[in-house]
Structure 1
Amino acid sequence: MSWSRFTSVGLYLLLFLAPVGSPAGAQLPPDVRWWSYETEHFRVHYHEGLEPLARRAGDRAETAYALLSEAFVDPPGGRIDLVVSDNVDFANGYATPLPTNRIVVFAHPPVDEPSLSFFDDWLQLVITHELTHIFHLDHARGVWRPLRRVFGRTAFFFPQVYSPGWTVEGLAVFYESQLTRAGRIRGTHFEMMLRTAVLQDAFFSIDRATGARASWPGGHTRYIYGSLFMAHLADRHDTDRVAAFVREVGGQILPYRLNTAARRAFGVTFTRAWGEWEESLRERYGGLADSLRAAGLTEPEVLTREGELALHPRFAPDGERIAFVSRTGREEPSTRVIHPDGRQQVLAPRSTLGPVSWYGGADALLTAQLEFRDRYRILSDLHRITTDRGTELLTRGARIQEPDLHPDGRRAAAIASAAGTNIPVIVELETGRIRPLAQPSLDTHWAAPRFSPAGDRIAVARWETGGFFNVVVLDSVGTLLHELTRDRAVNTSPAWSPDGRYLLFSSDRTGITNLYAHDLDSGELLQVTNVLTGAFQPDVSPDGRWIAFSYYWGDGYHIARIPYDPVSWRAAPPVRAAVEAPGAAVV
């Protein structure tokens, strides 16, 4: 889903061969049996085991096609190839107009990816996003059409691909949110990053909006700034002006002239509109910050010096050390431990940033990481990390993620991939036996399981069609015992108090992600933190003294802690109306 603005034709031609958003190494597997069927506007291709998902994908694609044809620009000619594959254990998709219009969607649902967690239907969201790329990048008017008829689908004659990345991705995120009841503009993650940048005087100018790897938020920049700027323009000048801008670019002989196209479509240049947008954001978020400060802000103790990504803190059984996963942007991703004196120890490099779980009484951790199983598959397996001997692979091709150890250390609750969805499972670590706790369903996904202190219950986040992402409690065989929340906020990452009375979790119910606690004795829902930025992934120390969590700041995520003090928690506010009763248009 990423693109760059090219400043030379030669470099452009070299790089254009890479599709928009194509993840490195994620080639489609040629060693399985593939099937195809046609709809009115698509040829849908899928491999064995994915027919139910592929049939649903074709339906969602036709819905997106009809909506984009009405709200955006004219659709491209001919059928579009839509490929559905389940050869990787991460969520993504990509699109390319060359040599023909093609979309690839990976089946893994993004319930483990915070920025993508607000969706009513993952297929609808990702297909709408990628199909927007096809409509956009294929669109051309004026001299470009006869040139394309004469010379064919040559990269030179696609004027939209000269646009900067924030325009390309901004449009796709805008329409994914405009044409569904969810999406990243309606969600809270992008706004959190923008709000924090504004309040900490780190807001990017328009010339930095495509982003750079060295400057947080790195590759997310073009998505965040591009989409929210498009939403601002649509709010100020009407939604149909967004499509008018694309038509203007598609007809320009010199497609780089974005300010000219913007002036014709919106009545103002992008440069000027960007400045007006920044002023409006400073006024809006300044007022929000004042109101939150008046209510009393949580001031955590930040334990890490470097930001970018410091995630999934887990207290050791001794309560003194905290393990977490880290990517600083200057070193390879790793599993780390914070010691009582503040020293950080790097235990082992890692490929992905999933949670870790301590073995009781041993200086070892259980985690899951992505591995190349062969040239065509990137799958998640369990690993054991020790403080002195590195990493040991425990499974091979098991497709297991987010493990949490039982107190006896012999088994783990985890999430297993399942042909376009996933299920909670119990993994017997000595034998490798996997016992499902639920039946696979395309309408239900799971994330972040945690055993209770007694090991007789499992808290887990459950997503259901309609955007209901809530925390539930299961018994050891998968029977539903409690449903802590039932709303369209993103409620996830549960953690137990040491006595088993409270379940803490993160929720964006107010529009800002904070920590909450559910009292299992009384049924009361309590707000634990009140931050300006975001608080995620709580964990409570075994002695009941501290809550560690991932805390968002201007340079990314840090590990922070606050005292564990239930007396100071207050009644949780209701879920914001925009989530519970979403409208048909972005506001």
Structure 2
Amino acid sequence: MKLFFTKIVLIAILFMPSSVFPQMFGQNKVRHQLKWQVLYTPHFRIYFYNKSEFLTNFVAAVAESSYASLSRELNYKLANPIPIVFYKSHADFEETTVSPQIQPESTGGFTEMLRDRVVIPYEGSWEELRHVIHHELTHAVTREFFYGGRFGAAFSGISKLRWPLWFAEGLAEYESLGWNANAAMYVRDAIIFNYLSPIPDLRGYMVYKGGQSIYNYLQNRYGREKIREILWKVNSDRNVVKGFEDALNQSLTEFSDQWHTYEETLWWPEIKRRTETPNYAQKLSNHLKWQNAINNSPSLSPNGEEIAFLSNKGYYFDIYLMSSTNGKIIKKLVSGQRNKELEEMHFLKPGIAWSPDGKFIAFAAKGNYRDKLYILNVRKSKIVNKYDFHLDGLYSPAWSPDGKKIAFSGFKDGLSDIYVFHLDTKSLTKATNDIFSDASPTWAPDSKTIAFVSDRQQYIYPDHKPPKDFKVYDFNYRYTNIYTVSIDGAVMRQITDTPYINDKSPAWSKDGRDIAFVSDRNGIFNIYLKDLEKDTTWVMSNLLTGADQLSWISDLHRLAFTSYYHGGYDIYLKRDFIAEKDRHPKLTPIPTNNEIHSKISPEDLNKNVPFVVQNIRRMSNAFRSFVFDEDFKNGNVPQWKLPNPL
């Protein structure tokens, strides 16, 4: 699960003397020299740098498509182009001088509201990038809608019109995602455990997902045009609460009560239809007792007796070893986030892999600017090897059953693929090598084939490769299926084929006959089992809130997974996994609304307004307060025209 936080730079910071900024912006940040260029589209100035041209094309198309959707929604046209600062990796994004803060892993992008600058990174997924672009542009466009287009308008505007976070973040999530299984999970859990606050009191992550459900309720009850009416009323009244009340002809308190009743009516009946996670499997971690939020990435040891997992139970994200019998913590294996060597532990895209002899684990983490692959001696709790492949991102390692290879998902210059590291020769090869987003590898028992998650749909090797004129932004990359590929990339097979559904987290049985995976086919992420020989699929759970991140020791019938339940993520163990066959023949669906937003290609944009800059020196002036490099400071930023589209 990906988290998107919008950062607002305080007015006080912007009024500090300029001599303060180099100290603030450089503190604890690695500063790499990047050669910036600028791409002009009809409504955006997109700043990018070397080796990200490939991605910038996609950003341009999605930004214009998102703006077209937002413009229709608001019935509003931008007065000024919006600057987008684009980074081709999260590591580069963390260096940004647009904000004095170091951007943590949980920040998928931000909008600097006072100057209306959008800053976003690519993190290996087309859909994640599309989401963050649309989310942040919702903030940027509504910022101009409410405060005006002139530079500095927000200085005076914010004092007259303040946005509650539920109002702003809920709108951005709903505009960029519609209603989906992830949002439903959070709201359903909040209703069942009675922690969904009244609208004015929404806090934390519920300003995103609770706010998203508010707009979903508005559309379901009044129609989508009511959202536009509310936004225009807020603009004219210069007050969010009054704008809501005028548009709905009732108090915000009354509306909040009705929203609560709607959600309760929707979700309370689900308790009888579903199984609560602790009633399905043994709960091993305890976020309530530990007073933390995230325990995830479970990985069963080869003998099934121990589980390595990632947790922030000690405030920082660390890797622990627990007993699979009773959940007792045996020891801490890795202390993360305390030094430059292990700056980030990738809790949003985790993965821990045991060596087949049970002596080592492999994990990915960011250290000294780049993601690396680490090998740890479990008995000694000591890192014995680390490998830097100079990738822009590295996630989810998986150790082959023969002990000779480690597969992982990685991306470089916009290409997200499955890599194979050969331990004997220390060589790195690719199992996939194309434009699609590939992730979450897991090995077949023969150590020759890998199952993985991808958005590629029907494009599989060797017979169905994308055509030369293939364009990602015209392709439905929003949903994923399970595939297998030989380690040399020669042979690929599609395992699941579910349009408008997300299948993910594959785990292979030891005999090679079955693949367990997670899917939101009924609107909740449940566990499924695919019989590869018979080509049949079994529903293995009917959970109330869902499951993710499977680790399966099939000959012991043990399946570890993580589940969000009662306000946090915990590790669970299912001891009789295969016995679930035939228990859940068909799952009743819950309401979802996964909308496909319209897309506009750069060719369509070019018909009227060319991608060209008339005066880059003049247009760079607004950016002098954050200096990318000397060329940028002096206005020597070259224009860039679109190459052949993706």
Q: Same fold (TM over 0.5)?
A: yes
Distance 1:577 1:269, change over 3 A: closer
Report the 3-state secondary structure (helix = DSSP H, G, I; strand = E; otherwise coil) of the residue aligned with 1:61.
helix
The corresponding residue for 1:222 is 207
Instruction: Tell me how far apart the structure 2 counterparts of residues 508 and 477 of structure 1 sit (CA, whole Å).
Output: 31
Indicate if the aligned counterparts of 2:180 and 2:593 stay in contact, CA closer than 8 A. Answer: no
Instruction: Tell me how far apart the structure 2 counterparts of residues 356 and 285 of structure 1 sit (CA, whole Å).
Output: 34
Matched, 1:561 2:573: yes
The corresponding residue for 2:407 is 413
The corresponding residue for 2:632 is none
Out of 266, 276, 301, the position equivalent to 2:282 is 301
Instruction: Tell me how far apart the structure 2 counterparts of residues 166 and 519 of structure 1 sit (CA, whole Å).
Output: 44
Report the 3-state secondary structure (helix = DSSP H, G, I; strand = E; otherwise coil) of the residue aligned with 1:162.
coil
The corresponding residue for 1:43 is 45
Instruction: Tell me how far apart the structure 1 counterparts of residues 597 and 492 of structure 2 sit (CA, whole Å).
Output: 35
Compute the displacement of 1:369 (Å). 0.8
Distance 1:80 1:447, change over 3 A: same
Instruction: Tell me how far apart the structure 2 counterparts of residues 334 and 139 of structure 1 sit (CA, whole Å).
Output: 44
Matched, 1:366 2:362: yes
Matched, 1:383 2:381: no
Report the 3-state secondary structure (helix = DSSP H, G, I; strand = E; otherwise coil) of the residue aligned with 2:67.
helix
Report the 3-state secondary structure (helix = DSSP H, G, I; strand = E; otherwise coil) of the residue aligned with 2:46.
strand
Distance 1:314 1:567, change over 3 A: same
The corresponding residue for 1:376 is none
Instruction: Tell me how far apart the structure 1 counterparts of residues 374 and 26 of structure 2 sit (CA, whole Å).
Output: 23
Amino acid at match of 1:484: I
Compute the displacement of 1:576 (Å). 5.9
> Which consecutive unaligned segments of at least 5 residues does structure 1 have?
6-10, 111-118, 177-182, 212-219, 374-378
Amino acid at match of 2:281: P
Compute the displacement of 1:317 (Å). 1.7
Instruction: Tell me how far apart the structure 1 counterparts of residues 226 and 119 of structure 2 sit (CA, whole Å).
Output: 29
The corresponding residue for 1:179 is none
Amino acid at match of 1:45: Y
Q: Deviations over 1:262-291 (max 9, x none)?
A: 111222232221111111111111222223
What pairs up with 1:382-531 in 2 under 5 angstroms?
A: 382-387=373-378, 388-392=380-384, 394-396=386-388, 397-398=390-391, 399-429=393-423, 431-441=425-435, 444-464=436-456, 465-466=475-476, 467-487=478-498, 488-531=500-543
The corresponding residue for 2:254 is 272
Instruction: Tell me how far apart the structure 2 counterparts of residues 134 and 424 of structure 1 sit (CA, whole Å).
Output: 35
Out of 96, 99, 107, the position equivalent to 2:122 is 107
What pairs up with 1:14-25 in 2 under 5 angstroms?
A: 14=12
What pairs up with 1:111-150 in 2 under 5 angstroms?
A: 121-140=127-146
Amino acid at match of 1:355: G
Tell me how large the CA RMSD over aligned residues is.
Answer: 3.2
What pairs up with 1:144-293 in 2 under 5 angstroms?
A: 152-153=152-153, 155-158=155-158, 162-176=162-176, 183=177, 185-211=178-204, 220-252=205-237, 255=238, 257-292=239-274
Report the 3-state secondary structure (helix = DSSP H, G, I; strand = E; otherwise coil) of the residue aligned with 1:558.
strand
Distance 1:95 1:554, change over 3 A: same
Compute the displacement of 1:358 (Å). 0.8
Compute the displacement of 1:122 (Å). 4.3
Report the 3-state secondary structure (helix = DSSP H, G, I; strand = E; otherwise coil) of the residue aligned with 1:489.
coil
Compute the displacement of 1:80 (Å). 1.4
Compute the displacement of 1:556 (Å). 0.9
The corresponding residue for 1:113 is none
User: TM-score of the superposition, structure 2-length normalised?
Assistant: 0.75
Indicate if the aligned counterparts of 1:551 and 1:557 stay in contact, CA closer than 8 A. Answer: yes
User: TM-score of the superposition, structure 1-length normalised?
Assistant: 0.83
Q: Deviations over 1:28-54 (max 9, x none)?
A: 976122222212111222111121321
Matched, 1:346 2:362: no
Report the 3-state secondary structure (helix = DSSP H, G, I; strand = E; otherwise coil) of the residue aligned with 1:74.
coil
Matched, 1:541 2:568: no
Q: Identify which range, 43-52 or 426-435, moves more after superposition.
A: 426-435
Compute the displacement of 1:433 (Å). 2.2
Amino acid at match of 2:432: A
Residue correspondences, number:
533
Instruction: Tell me how far apart the structure 2 counterparts of residues 186 and 17 of structure 1 sit (CA, whole Å).
Output: 40
Q: Deviations over 1:389-429 (max 9, x none)?
A: 43355123344221111123332011111223410010123
Q: Identify which range, 576-585 or 269-278, moves more after superposition.
A: 576-585
Q: Larger relative contact order (C-alpha < 8 A, sep ≥ 6)?
A: 2
Instruction: Tell me how far apart the structure 2 counterparts of residues 158 and 198 of structure 1 sit (CA, whole Å).
Output: 33
The corresponding residue for 1:355 is 351
Compute the displacement of 1:532 (Å). 0.8
Q: Deviations over 1:176-227 (max 9, x none)?
A: 1xxxxxx2x432011111101111222223343132xxxxxxxx22111111
Instruction: Tell me how far apart the structure 1 counterparts of residues 187 and 363 of structure 2 sit (CA, whole Å).
Output: 31
Compute the displacement of 1:98 (Å). 3.0
Indicate if the aligned counterparts of 2:179 and 2:593 stay in contact, CA closer than 8 A. Answer: no
Instruction: Tell me how far apart the structure 2 counterparts of residues 24 and 364 of structure 1 sit (CA, whole Å).
Output: 38
Instruction: Tell me how far apart the structure 2 counterparts of residues 160 and 57 of structure 1 sit (CA, whole Å).
Output: 33
Compute the displacement of 1:504 (Å). 0.4
Indicate if the aligned counterparts of 1:297 and 1:532 stay in contact, CA closer than 8 A. Answer: no
Instruction: Tell me how far apart the structure 1 counterparts of residues 209 and 358 of structure 2 sit (CA, whole Å).
Output: 42
Compute the displacement of 1:507 (Å). 0.7
Instruction: Tell me how far apart the structure 1 counterparts of residues 61 and 528 of structure 2 sit (CA, whole Å).
Output: 38
Compute the displacement of 1:59 (Å). 2.0
The corresponding residue for 1:85 is 87
Instruction: Tell me how far apart the structure 2 counterparts of residues 270 and 163 of structure 1 sit (CA, whole Å).
Output: 15
Q: Deviations over 1:41-75 (max 9, x none)?
A: 11222111121321222122222222211211523
Indicate if the aligned counterparts of 1:73 and 1:136 stay in contact, CA closer than 8 A. Answer: no
Q: Deviations over 1:226-283 (max 9, x none)?
A: 111122123223322323333333334xx5x432121112222322211111111111
Instruction: Tell me how far apart the structure 1 counterparts of residues 558 and 43 of structure 2 sit (CA, whole Å).
Output: 56
Q: Deviations over 1:432-476 (max 9, x none)?
A: 4210112231xx101110112231221111123413301111122
% identical equivalent positions: 21
Distance 1:428 1:562, change over 3 A: same
Compute the displacement of 1:562 (Å). 1.6
Compute the displacement of 1:565 (Å). 4.1
